[in-house]
A and B are shown apart, each in its own frame.
Chain A
Amino acid sequence: MDRYLQIDSVSVAFPTKSGSFTALDNVSLDIDQGEFVALIGHSGCGKSTLLNCVAGLVRPTRGYVFLANREVGRPGPDRGVVFQNHSLLPWLSCTQNVYLAVERVFGTTESRKQMMERTARALALVKLAESAHKLPHEISGGMKQRVGIARALAMEPKVLLLDEPFGALDALTRAHLQDELIKIVAQTRSTVLMVTHDVDEAVLLSDRVVMMTNGPAARIGEVLAIDLPRPRDRLKLAGHARYIQYRSAVLEFLYRNHEPAAA
């Protein structure tokens, strides 16, 4: 079961007016099934580009991405993506937004009733059963992000890709949703790759924190295994010696060794 998601010496270069711009340089990373990995780095370091390679939205210039021993080419519903700005379709209700994804995956094998049940289960999982009929502009930012997570999970993807999922939320809502995500991931045993720039978020949620060097030509700087007991509780961890240690290790990496160029 190891090497479930395999990122094999991936490089990404974008053509620009002044020649080719290398965003990622020879990045390799293996993720086990059921593992939660956070990608952290300063903005512009290419962590989202790496996630998009896994999602299939960006084609690696060199290297390969394998998921469950199959090469990732185009985007597909076996990888559930949650975008930073929720990306819900504003003309569809929460249910319809999730149903669109469910229909794509289970449309050929299940009845409409079964798919509606799936949709309802996914929304119940993120505690949104009561707002299911509402349109996205009628619910709060945190709730929109929950719908985005429900949409991704409802497809039963092989891997959940979170692109700064809570970056646009206020601190309290973010903490709340992080706690929810911990429970959901424990419940669904999802494999998760999450991009974040929040040190606490990375340490609190993940099994491994992958720290990326500054772009251009970003690489993986260090990988930190987070050996903290689950289920994790933010209040108990706040004073936990190892938690503090991990936290300062990430901070050290980000602000001492790899200070952002323009800071």
Chain B
Amino acid sequence: MNAATLPKRGTDASVTPASPSERGGAVSLSVVTPQGAPHPSARSLRELQQNKQQRGEQPKLGIEATGGSVARRAPADPRVAQGIAWLLGIVVFVAMWAAVATLRPDLPGPAKTWLAAMKVFAEPFYVNGPNDQGIGWNILSSLQRVGIGFGLAALVGIPIGFIIGRFAFLSHMTAPIIGLLRPVSPLAWLPIGLLVFKAANPAAIYVIFISSIWPMIINTAVGVRQVPQDYLNVARVLNLSEWKVLTRILFPAALPYVLTGVRLSIGVAWLVIVAAEMLTGGVGLGFWVWDEWNNLKVEHIIIAIFVVGIVGLALEQALLLLARRFSYGVNV
């Protein structure tokens, strides 16, 4: 049951972060503009700093205007306020979790999960046979599968995206195929993988490959297609060679889009790996979840959920940092 519902969740989530773009018809359905990602956080940081300056200049005015205790209790540094809000959010979340756990005693509460987590993480790299290994090995095996499948997808998908984006004919040629295959639930590919590779591990990697390739193809193609005409005019006026156009104009101009595609792809890959491993077994977070479900160690399942979330968040943040590095001050 669980395994059956998971892939659906996977595809849903791969579509939600996307903002539909008007351009390019069916192919550009899951495009997030590169500005969308790094921009809000960058701007909010600047706003925060401005607020800080304003408050620093006229602290008395604020107190007089709002009157007494409220203004005085407000922290001087808005980052402190943000930190407090974060902490409060976590506290509320844990409290709600504890409340639910008391209503349903079969669900482990925060304290029980925490104790179990201490035990799990005390020895992350033990090996007790092929089906019983430490959480560290589970995380690393999942990351390795994602890394290989995603890496292959990048090697294939980004060049394809460039070619599709550069040549309208190829774009039209591939649009129906991509449009048809992209929405297919990742796990639907698994039987084909099992049939072709006759082994679970390559099949899982293949599922990662096929499900994470689409955002990279599509975003790269849109990125190449949206290279400003000004830059292409420069290329035309200078009569640059196709190689120079690619390395000096198309690649740098499309890079933010490519990185957005990479970010979406990693997200999809990380969503899919848990479901794929549930079905293929071996070592990995997905398998671990399924194993602990069979053992009815529900607290371990909750630990796995947190681990999946934290690793996914870390991957996303790392790629956001990378994307900001390559914004060339265009969006700043």
Number of interface residues of A (CB under 8 A): 24
CB of A68 within 8 Å of the partner chain: no
CB of B9 within 8 Å of the partner chain: no
Question: How far does the Cβ of B245 sit from chain A's closest Cβ, in whole Å?
Answer: 11
A-B contact count, CB below 8 Å? 58
When the two chains form the complex, which single residue of A57, A90, A135 contacts B236, counting CB atoms closer than 8 Å? Answer: A57
Chain B residues with Cβ below 8 Å from A168 are none
CB of A255 within 8 Å of the partner chain: no
The B interface is mostly helix, strand or loop, or mixed, namely helix
CB of B230 within 8 Å of the partner chain: yes
CB of B1 within 8 Å of the partner chain: no
Q: What residue in chain B is nearest A52 (Cβ atoms)?
A: B233
* Contact across chains for A90 and B230 when beta carbons are under 8 A apart: no
Say whether, besides A89-B231, A90-B330, A81 and B237 are in contact (CB < 8 Å).
Answer: yes
Number of interface residues of B (CB under 8 A): 18
Chain B residues with Cβ below 8 Å from A76 are 239
When the two chains form the complex, which single residue of A77, A83, A92, A138 contacts B238, counting CB atoms closer than 8 Å? Answer: A77
When the two chains form the complex, which single residue of A91, A100, A137 contacts B332, counting CB atoms closer than 8 Å? Answer: A137
CB of B306 within 8 Å of the partner chain: no
Question: How far does the Cβ of B119 sit from chain A's closest Cβ, in whole Å?
Answer: 50
Chain A residues with Cβ below 8 Å from B240 are 100, 104
* Contact across chains for B248 and A100 when beta carbons are under 8 A apart: yes
Interface residues of A in 98-148 (CB under 8 A from B): 100-101, 104, 135-138
* Contact across chains for B237 and A138 when beta carbons are under 8 A apart: no
CB of A178 within 8 Å of the partner chain: no
When the two chains form the complex, which single residue of A74, A91, A101 contacts B252, counting CB atoms closer than 8 Å? Answer: A91
Chain B residues with Cβ below 8 Å from A92 are 248
**Which among A76, A91, A137 has the greatest number of chain B C-beta atoms within 10 A?**
A91
* Contact across chains for B248 and A74 when beta carbons are under 8 A apart: no
CB of A85 within 8 Å of the partner chain: yes
25 CB contacts below 8 A, A to B, read A56-B236, A56-B237, A57-B236, A57-B237, A75-B236, A75-B237, A76-B239, A77-B237, A79-B237, A83-B233, A83-B234, A87-B233, A87-B234, A89-B234, A89-B248, A89-B252, A89-B253, A90-B329, A90-B330, A91-B328, A100-B240, A100-B244, A104-B240, A135-B328, A137-B328
Q: Which residues of B contact A (CB under 8 A)?
A: 230-231, 233-234, 236-240, 244, 248-249, 252-253, 328-330, 332
Additional pairs, 11, CB under 8 Å, beyond known A81-B233, A89-B231, A89-B252: A57-B237, A75-B236, A77-B238, A87-B230, A89-B234, A91-B253, A100-B240, A104-B244, A135-B328, A137-B332, A155-B238
Instruction: Give the 6 A-B residue pairs with the shortest CB-CB distance, closest first.
Output: A137-B329, A91-B252, A87-B230, A90-B328, A75-B236, A81-B237
